């Protein structure tokens, strides 16, 4: 444990039960009922409605986060397989968190999600979003591909593998 953390604590709010990594720092937090929504350098800790404790979602797995009124809506993505070096994503059902006192949470979430995106393009022919993102703790970027609803996923998988191979060749040539 670092000297700063020993002297000043993790910065996590009192009552937060998540286990932060040694190099993970709290950037903002807000109460959600009796639980906490905590934004850190590594991701967004979401309260777990199953009461098994909070869980962290990496910034690269948040497809969309919007602030409206007093609520933050978050669409989390899960990795749904590989297509060559590309990661296929599938969006989960949006979650809505009412924050009575949001503090810096909306701004921090917006900034971190946006900063994780290095490029993005919607390919209408493939019917998918192609997004290059920085993943906390890893060098370089990862190509993520999120098929549109109703799209032929196997076709998207083939196109994504081809695009990932082209990107790899371009990186090798530079």
Q: Please, where are the H alpha helices in 44-137?
A: 105-116
**Measured distance CA(117)–CA(150) in Å, rounded:** 25
Q: What are the residue ranges spanned by the domains of the chain?
A: 3-173
List of residues 6+ apart from 164 with CB closer than 8 A: 83, 84, 85, 86, 143
**Measured distance CA(18)–CA(22) in Å, rounded:** 12
Whole-number pLDDT of residue 11: 80
pTM, full prediction? 0.90
Confidence of residue 48 (pLDDT cuts 50, 70, 90): confident
Q: Quote the mean pLDDT of the chain.
A: 91
Question: Worst-scoring range by mean pLDDT, 4-8, 36-40, 79-83?
Answer: 4-8
Whole-number pLDDT of residue 3: 38
Dump pLDDT digits (tens) for 10-36: 689 998 999 999 999 999 999 999 899
User: 6 pLDDT exceeds 50?
Assistant: no
Confidence of residue 120 (pLDDT cuts 50, 70, 90): very high
**Measured distance CA(130)–CA(143) in Å, rounded:** 7
Tokens 């039960």, located at residue: 17
Contact in structure between 95 and 109 (CB atoms under 8 Å): no
**Measured distance CA(115)–CA(59) in Å, rounded:** 9
């Amino acid at each position: 444990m670092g000297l700063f953390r020993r002297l000043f604590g993790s910065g996590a709010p009192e009552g937060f039960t998540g286990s932060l990594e040694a190099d993970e720092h709290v950037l903002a937090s807000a109460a959600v009922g009796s639980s906490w929504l905590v934004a850190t350098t590594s991701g967004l800790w979401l309260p777990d409605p199953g009461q098994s404790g909070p869980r962290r979602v990496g910034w690269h797995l948040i497809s969309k986060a919007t602030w409206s009124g007093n609520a933050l809506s978050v669409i989390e993505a899960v990795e749904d397989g590989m297509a060559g070096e590309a990661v296929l994503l599938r969006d989960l059902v949006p979650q809505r968190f009412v924050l009575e006192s949001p503090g810096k949470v909306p701004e921090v979430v917006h900034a971190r999600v946006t900063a994780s995106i290095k490029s993005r393009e919607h390919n209408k022919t493939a019917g998918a979003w192609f997004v290059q993102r920085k993943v906390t703790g890893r060098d370089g970027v990862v190509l993520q591909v999120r098929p549109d609803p109703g799209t032929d996923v196997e076709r998207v998988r083939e196109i994504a593998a081809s695009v990932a191979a082209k990107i790899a060749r371009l990186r090798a040539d530079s």
